[in-house]
């Protein structure tokens, strides 16, 4: 089938403003949007810039706005978006070039919640035992691939870039509810601050776009509740 693909292009070192470039090309309807981008780059315009790596929804590097919705280009089929495709970089993060955004602010928020197990107690000769029920408590939030689709779809993040954002909260949740971890109170104190969970207005955009189907808004609500419970 013949499709038209409009891509928002911008090279801050060359261009005064972003502009749209449209390509007409022949593709298979079962091609993924990432295949389309590769075809454009390899056969039409080698200067087009975007991130990709695994091509199988694992690495999280090719999140972008496809026909108005955040998604991984390697997980969206042409037949799902039709013959007129519009692609933009993720919103709310500075554009480095074309579809590549500066992820530093995103990872800074992620690092601020201590996304690693904290436990100084001696392990002895055994592992830190956990029951299946304890493991299930945070199963959903272990699935995050740090693609940034959630945070950059959140209207609160667009209007205030200092909001810690749903991805950081998801990764805090993963450790706060891990029975082996001992830094939950510290993480909850960070998330109770001005730019933490209380900025969330339950817009649900994050949950709608997560390519791993993580119940993000639910995780945020669980953290809000946990902050109140531990204050008692």
> Rule CB under 6 A: which residues touch ligand SF4?
144-150, 166-167, 170, 210-212, 214, 216
Q: Does 89 bind ligand F3S (CB under 6 A)?
A: no
| Max Cα distance, the chain (Å) | 64
Q: Decide which of ligand F3S, ligand FES, ligand SF4, none touches 72; Cβ closer than 5 to 8 Å per partner kind.
A: ligand FES
The shares of helix, strand and coil residues in the chain, as percent rounded to the nearest 5, are 40, 15, 45
Q: Decide which of ligand F3S, ligand FES, ligand SF4, none touches 201; Cβ closer than 5 to 8 Å per partner kind.
A: ligand F3S
- Give, as ranges, the residues between 192 and 211 that touch ligand F3S (CB under 6 A): 200-206
The distance of closest approach from Cβ of residue 57 to ligand FES in the complex, given in angstroms and rounded to an integer, is 5
Nearer to ligand SF4, 146 or 200 (CB): 146
Binding mask 37-56 for ligand FES (x = CB under 6 A): ---------------xxxx-
In degrees, rounded to 5, the angle at the alpha carbon of residue 132 between the alpha carbons of residues 174 and 207 is: 35
Q: Does 92 bind ligand FES (CB under 6 A)?
A: no
Start-to-end CA distance of the chain, whole Å, equals: 62
Distance, in Å, from the CA atom of 213 to the CA atom of 169, rounded to the nearest integer, reads 15
The distance of closest approach from Cβ of residue 66 to ligand FES in the complex, given in angstroms and rounded to an integer, is 12
Q: Is 4 helix (H, G, I), strand (E, B) or coil?
A: strand
Among 141, 152, 171, 217, binds ligand F3S (CB under 6 A): 217
Distance, in Å, from the CA atom of 70 to the CA atom of 209, rounded to the nearest integer, reads 6
| Rounded (10°) CA dihedral 81, 58, 97, 158 | 70
Residues in contact with ligand F3S by the rule CB under 6 A: 154, 156, 166, 200-206, 216-217, 220
């Amino acid at each position: 089938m013949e499709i038209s693909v409009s891509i928002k292009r911008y090279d801050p070192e060359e261009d005064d403003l972003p502009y749209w470039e449209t390509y007409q090309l022949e593709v298979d309807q079962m091609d993924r949007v990432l295949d389309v981008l590769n075809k454009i780059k390899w056969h039409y315009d080698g200067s087009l810039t975007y991130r990709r790596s695994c091509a199988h929804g694992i690495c999280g590097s090719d999140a972008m706005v496809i026909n108005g919705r955040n998604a991984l280009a390697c997980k969206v089929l042409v037949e799902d978006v039709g013959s007129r495709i519009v692609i933009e970089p993720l919103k709310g993060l500075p554009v480095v070039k074309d579809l590549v955004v500066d992820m530093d602010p995103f990872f800074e928020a992620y690092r601020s919640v201590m996304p690693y197990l904290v436990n100084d107690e001696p392990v002895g000769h055994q592992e830190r035992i956990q029951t299946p029920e304890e493991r299930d408590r945070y199963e959903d939030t272990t699935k995050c691939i740090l693609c940034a689709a959630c945070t950059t779809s959140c209207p609160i993040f667009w209007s205030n870039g200092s909001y810690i954002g749903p991805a950081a909260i998801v990764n805090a949740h993963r450790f706060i509810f891990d029975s082996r971890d001992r830094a939950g109170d510290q993480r909850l104190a960070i998330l109770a601050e001005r730019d933490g969970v209380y900025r969330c207005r339950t817009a649900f955009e994050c949950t709608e776009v997560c390519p791993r189907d993580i119940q993000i808004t639910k995780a945020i609500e669980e953290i809000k509740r946990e902050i109140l419970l531990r204050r008692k």
